[in-house]
Structure 1
Amino acid sequence: MSFRNFPMVPRVVFGRGSFNQLGEILEPKRQGNKAPFIFLVDDVFRGKVDLISRIPLKHNDKIIYVSAEEEPKTIYVDDIRDDIKKEFKETPSGIIGIGGGTLLDYAKAVALMLTNPGSSADYQGWDLVKHQGVYHVGIPTISGTGAEVSRTTVLTGPERKLGMNSDYTPFDQVVLDPSLLNGIPKNQWFYTGMDCYIHCIESLTGTYLNAFSQSYGEKSLDLCREVYLEKESIDEDSQDKLMMASWHGGMSIAYSQVGVAHAMSYGLSYLLGTKHGVGNCIVFDQLGEFYPEGVKEFKQMVTKHGIDIPKGLCKDLTDDQFDTMIDVALSLVPLWENALGKDWQKTITRKKLRSMYELM
């Protein structure tokens, strides 16, 4: 039997105010004065001096603001890569992503596409990336996706929503500064945190489960429960714990997989552009058949925090649109195998998936 030899993020700094060490962290990685650091920053921070003024720009370093309104797309990755290559003669010293899961995924993808030919759509799948990317750093400003620690960058392409899963994808450095979570809108805090909670439920109940995944998943789940069931407000302690829940949740699926909610959420996202965390919640809300205990607890969290899960997204869809979502969901074979085992196709037919989507 051959065991997967997965990479991990080699360097991580954690602590309130650790963002202020970014210049010190980056300087040894600078490849000369003409090779810039490119900072991909969530557009919501445009004009927010308290964050932007702390970005350690030198020489010809550049901030590129990127909208996170839509899920990351291969076409946008390619555009950012092309713009950087057009503007700078030298390959950048590094790419730094500052934002939520969308920005972290963009940073990972752009870093890879600066050293790999073609379109990022060519690399959607498992172990298709052939060359190491440029140095890349992840700085989450919201927690839950696990994008800061995962070996994938999830992109919507012309034909599918699927990650660039490779040993070259993980960040070289991550900065975990819980103070960057200040001011997150409550709905966003909930939906992104539930991405982490759902990761854990799917990992811990899956057929791929092993002691490695279980140890991280159980810790992450405990932290999610503390934050979303025991806490009354988003205080500093809950910010710290959610940041670590996200890290552990991402680690838990490195050596296992997610499941039904993520597979179906990818279908919603591909067709309707539904944000990943929201899509997971919409789907998971209807998955009592597959995750009875997890869904029961999830509904308690929804009630406690007064969150309205969107309904009726699929009520006016055509047969062709349902087929598109079903095709995307069914293409994610490892997720279904983890959830239901090798014979998953006996349970998950096109008709079954259609009836499940119709509830959403």
Structure 2
Amino acid sequence: MYLERLNQFSLGPDLLFGVGAISHVPEIINREGFKKVMIICDEGIEKAQILEKVLEKIRKSNAQITVFSNVEANPTTDTVKTGMHLLKKFRPDLLIGLGGGSPIDVAKALGILATNGGRITDYEGIDRFSNQPLPLLAIPTTAGTGSEVTIFTVVTDPIKEYKLTVGGSMLAPKWAVIAPALTITLPPKLTAATGLDALVHAIESYTSTMSYALTETLALDAIRTISSNLRQAVFNGENLSARRKMLYGSLVAGIAFNNTRLGNVHAMSHPLSAKYHVPHGVANSVLLPHVMEFNLPAAPGKFLNIAKSIGEYIDPTQTLMANAYKAIEAVKQLSRDIHIPKDFSEYQIRESDILPMAEDAMKSGNIAVNPRKTNIEDVVSLYKKTMGRTSFETDSVLE
């Protein structure tokens, strides 16, 4: 007997989206009675004067404020530990994650430890902590990760060279304040990588075996929005309309994958970032077309719909597979247009590291929901297709 799978949809935080959104942050602080606010960000946010713009608004509240700005790309367990020293000293009752996915992920990790104790590595997996984390308000400054609405945080263990994922129904931010003007100063290279990361989220959510009608509608909307606005945002950062639509697309993709998980791209990107410090958006962007080619035979109808959503012409005289393949060609063209690297050759990845990375990738829950059944040999093959010709030639020199 066929049993229909139960689908449970989660939206996540209260959303404030649009021009002037950050002006409402002091209202939230005062209304909720918060007395001490700890902002988590990175040095780039400080240098771009974004932190000061947000502080200017928050100072209108009644709260004391402290800032932890030591977050790096692919944040580590050491960063979380350092942040906890400040948190224990300051004792905030509200955390604000300001920036891309890294500061928001660190804020989530701090929120867990503030109320549950221990180390963040103690909570790898889903719903491994018992107590409600500290309240978190997320202010994204990139259109990429969707961390402002998701129930996951990802942190790198530098000793094990391993990215661990912590998730839980209580982990999503309580509020997400999304102000397009805060993304205007994001450099073209970061706009490209984070924007394509958002597209990966939408595509992997749509093709996930956990997807269903509601998440698929959201994912296709995100694919349409991101693919038709990313070039404009990259090549004219002051195009506020494109910036707003990219934030919307990233947000909607985040809501979609929060309910479906992702796929092989994310499973494979985490080991690359942990071991070789490949930026998360770049890792996902390079892997995407290769994983799409691998997955297409398992879901040609979905890839046909992706091609339509990107705006590709569907030729009625061609086969389903030929039209579906246009989704992959469109992604490749978009990547070329915004100057995404075609492979990982600049990272000098050693052939001897491929199998250990593949073993780490296979531990990800995202592998289980990928549309095509995947084994470790498949992952090894996919990694090899992305390494670039020069990577293996350097092994003898580096040993």
What TM-score, normalized by structure 2, do the two folds share? 0.80
**Matching residue within 166, 173, 176 for 1:174:** 176
**Contact conserved, 2:46 with 2:52, CA < 8 A, in 1?**
no
Partner in structure 2 of residue 213 of structure 1: 215
Q: Distance in 1 between matches of 2:380 and 2:63?
A: 58
Partner in structure 2 of residue 330 of structure 1: 362
Q: Secondary structure at the match of 1:290?
A: helix
Which structure's CA Rg is the greater one?
2
Q: Secondary structure at the match of 2:152?
A: coil
Q: Distance in 2 between matches of 1:355 and 1:308?
A: 15
**Matching residue within 227, 246, 253 for 1:242:** 246
1:127-206 aligned at under 5 Å gives the runs: 127-157=127-157, 158-159=159-160, 160-206=162-208
Partner in structure 1 of residue 95 of structure 2: 95
State the one-letter code of the partner of 2:102: T
Q: CA RMSD in A?
A: 2.5
**Could you report, residue by residue, the CA deviation over 1:231-263 in whole angstroms, capped at 9, with x for unpaired residues?**
763411111111110111011112212112111
**Contact conserved, 1:112 with 1:168, CA < 8 A, in 2?**
no
**Could you report, residue by residue, the CA deviation over 1:120-168 in whole angstroms, capped at 9, with x for unpaired residues?**
0111212212110111100001111111111101111244313211011
Return 269-278 or 155-164, whichever deviates more: 155-164
Q: Secondary structure at the match of 2:68?
A: strand
1:77-88 aligned at under 5 Å gives the runs: 77-85=80-88, 87-88=89-90
Tell me the CA shift for residue 42 of structure 1. Answer: 2.3
User: Any unmatched runs of 5+ in structure 1?
Assistant: none
State the one-letter code of the partner of 1:191: A
Q: Secondary structure at the match of 2:19?
A: coil
Partner in structure 2 of residue 311 of structure 1: 344
**Could you report, residue by residue, the CA deviation over 1:7-32 in whole angstroms, capped at 9, with x for unpaired residues?**
4324111111211221111112234x
Aligned length: 349
CA 1:311 to 1:94, structure 2 compared with 1: closer, same or farther past 3 Å?
A: same
Partner in structure 2 of residue 28 of structure 1: 31
Return 15-24 or 285-294, whichever deviates more: 285-294
Q: Secondary structure at the match of 1:174?
A: strand
* Percent of aligned pairs with the same amino acid: 22
Partner in structure 1 of residue 309 of structure 2: none
Partner in structure 2 of residue 344 of structure 1: 374
Return 206-215 or 242-251, whichever deviates more: 206-215
Tell me the CA shift for residue 193 of structure 1. Answer: 0.6
Tell me the CA shift for residue 281 of structure 1. Answer: 1.3
What TM-score, normalized by structure 1, do the two folds share? 0.88
Q: Distance in 2 between matches of 1:128 and 1:103?
A: 22
**Contact conserved, 2:285 with 2:340, CA < 8 A, in 1?**
no
**Contact conserved, 2:206 with 2:219, CA < 8 A, in 1?**
yes
**Contact conserved, 1:96 with 1:137, CA < 8 A, in 2?**
yes
Q: Distance in 2 between matches of 1:240 and 1:221?
A: 15
State the one-letter code of the partner of 1:213: T
Q: Distance in 1 between matches of 2:380 and 2:176?
A: 43
**Matching residue within 14, 18, 25 for 1:11:** 14
Query: By percentage of residues, which structure has more helix?
Result: 2
CA 1:325 to 1:81, structure 2 compared with 1: closer, same or farther past 3 Å?
A: same
Tell me the CA shift for residue 74 of structure 1. Answer: 2.1
Q: Is 1:261 paired with 2:294? A: no
State the one-letter code of the partner of 1:305: I
Q: Secondary structure at the match of 2:369?
A: helix
